[in-house]
Structures are given as structure tokens and as C-alpha cells.
């Protein structure tokens, strides 16, 4: 575990576990690298070097007022890979982290990348526009912003205990531990950073970034994802990424890194070994 300092002086915290071929993991909003801990433990135990950082403003990284947008997130990831001189890496992004991975490849190419994975990821574009009629209305994200300003602690509890993990579905068995972990990670995010990131993950168009993918790519999503709907995300991304492998988990929610961690770990490992 360590930190790097970016060009604008922001400290970025990262974990570096295990040894072997490199896997790099980018997390979702409003979480941090701890949200990947099941996959980090599993992959590092199976012969991989697994690196995961806390995005600027999140977790144990610095909380700058500026730079809370996808270009800078991608440049921070580039700075980390350059600092560690990572080569032949497999980059996986969950949710917002999928946007970060897409924008990294769009801006920095694949010189350091061997494979890519988009896990319940936000690309190509979340918000509804004339060109993206299947997206979510801007009012949805305005509502998240309003809730964040009103009582973000309660917002994180509501998201975690409801749609994020599918705990609002009939027959679901909520884990209070999983809900508490989500809330704790959320409360570690800088207030301004969390607020700005809502625009970053919802209004950034990654279509051109996806077209630049030239490495084997896994796109994996639950078809009961209430946060990032599968049709406007995974299925649309699969049409833009050349030769992508699309895997759909029937009935799975957004937070599959927890709810489907055994299946996800096995699928990630199989993809890495393929």
C-alpha cells in the first residue's frame, strides 16, 4: 500500500497485493478500493498482482476542489500505472470505474494494457439525450444531487439497503454488513468530490473511447441492475467495443462485486487465463 502525488498535488492512495501478471481495478461511486476486496483477495491468491486505488476525492486519497471529472480520473490512473511501470495489465472497472477505464484507454491508449473489463459499468452514456433515448432522465441525477446535499449519509443508507444490491426485491436477504460497508465508504468521500462525480459518471459520453479498445474485453452486467440499466450500458457498449465478450447475469443487481462475488471472481479469472 502506498500513495502517489499527481501533477496538481493530489495524493492518490493505492493497494498493491500479490505477484504475477498485473490486474488493475477501478471502483464505483461513492466507494473506494475496499469495494474490490473480495476480487483482490481471490485474484492475488490465484497468482496475480492486483492493484486498486482510491479515486481522487474518495477513500484515503486527497480531496481536491477541482479535477473531479473523467479526464482527470483517467490521468490519475495513468500516473499510477506510469509510477509503478505497469505493463501488460488487465484493467477492470466497476460502475463509475468502468468509465474511468474507458476514458483511460481513450486518452492514453493500450501500451500498458493487455485486456480490459467493464463490470456493471456506466459506458457508453447514462443520461438520456436525443441520441441516447434509452438513458435515464437528467432528473434522476438531479435527484441524487439534491439528496446528497440534503442528507448524504441517509442517501448512502437508502441506496445500499435498496436498489444497489437488489435488497428491495421480493425474497432478497439483505446483509447489514454489506450495507454498513457501503455507507462507511460513502462517508469517506469528500462532499464536493462526491457531488461532482455524479455529473462525471452520468453525463460523460464514452462512445468514442469504447471504439478505441483494441484488446480483448469482457463486458459483464446483471440484467436486474436498477442503478445502471443493462440495455443502455452493457448491451450498448458491446456494440461499440470490437470483439467484446458480453456476459449477462440473470436476475443480478448492480452490486455484483458483493452479491455475486464467487461467480464474478471465477469469470474474471477465466477471462484473465484465456
Residues annotated as catalytic are: 95, 225, 254
Estimate to the nearest angstrom the gap between the alpha carbon of 22 and the chain centroid: 18
Q: Whole-angstrom Cα distance, residue 199 to residue 195?
A: 8
Estimate to the nearest angstrom the gap between the alpha carbon of 14 and the chain centroid: 15
By C-alpha distance, which of 161, 140, 155 is closest to 194?
Answer: 155
By C-alpha distance, which of 81, 26, 20 is closest to 45?
Answer: 20
Which ranges of the chain does DSSP label H, i.e. alpha helix? 37-45, 70-84, 96-108, 138-161, 176-187, 191-203, 207-210, 236-240, 256-259, 261-273
Asked if residues 70 and 207 have their Cβ atoms less than 8 Å apart, the reply is no
DSSP β-ladder status, 89-94 and 113-119: parallel
Locus of grid cell 505497469: 86
Fill in the DSSP letter of residue 217: E
Amino acid at each position: 500500500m502506498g500513495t502517489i502525488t499527481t501533477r496538481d498535488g493530489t495524493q492518490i492512495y493505492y493497494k498493491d497485493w500479490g505477484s504475477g501478471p498485473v490486474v488493475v481495478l477501478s471502483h464505483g461511486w461513492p466507494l473506494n478500493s475496499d469495494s474490490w476486496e473480495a476480487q483482490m483477495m481471490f485474484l492475488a491468491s490465484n497468482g496475480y498482482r492486483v492493484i486498486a486505488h482510491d479515486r481522487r476525492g474518495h477513500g484515503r486519497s486527497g480531496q481536491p476542489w477541482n479535477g473531479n471529472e473523467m479526464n482527470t480520473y483517467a490521468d490519475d490512473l495513468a500516473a499510477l500505472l506510469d509510477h509503478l511501470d505497469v505493463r501488460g495489465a488487465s484493467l477492470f472497472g466497476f460502475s463509475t470505474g468502468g468509465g474511468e477505464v474507458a476514458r483511460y484507454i481513450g486518452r492514453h491508449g493500450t501500451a500498458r494494457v493487455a485486456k480490459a473489463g467493464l463490470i456493471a459499468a456506466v459506458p457508453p452514456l447514462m443520461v438520456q439525450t436525443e441520441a441516447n433515448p434509452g438513458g435515464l432522465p437528467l432528473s434522476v441525477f438531479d435527484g441524487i444531487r439534491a439528496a446528497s446535499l440534503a442528507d448524504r449519509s441517509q442517501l448512502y443508507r437508502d441506496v445500499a439497503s435498496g436498489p444497489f444490491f437488489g435488497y428491495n426485491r421480493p425474497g432478497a436477504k439483505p446483509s447489514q454488513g454489506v450495507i454498513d460497508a457501503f455507507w462507511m465508504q460513502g462517508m469517506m468521500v469528500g462532499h464536493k468530490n462526491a457531488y461532482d462525480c455524479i455529473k462525471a459518471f452520468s453525463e460523460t459520453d464514452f462512445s468514442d473511447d469504447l471504439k478505441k479498445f483494441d484488446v480483448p474485453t469482457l463486458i459483464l452486467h446483471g440484467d436486474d441492475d436498477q442503478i445502471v440499466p443493462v440495455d443502455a450500458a452493457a448491451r450498448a457498449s458491446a456494440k461499440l467495443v470490437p470483439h467484446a465478450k458480453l456476459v449477462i447475469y440473470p436476475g443480478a443487481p448492480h452490486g455484483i462485486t458483493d452479491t455475486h462475488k464467487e461467480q464474478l471472481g471465477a469469470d474474471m479469472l477465466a477471462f484473465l487465463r484465456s
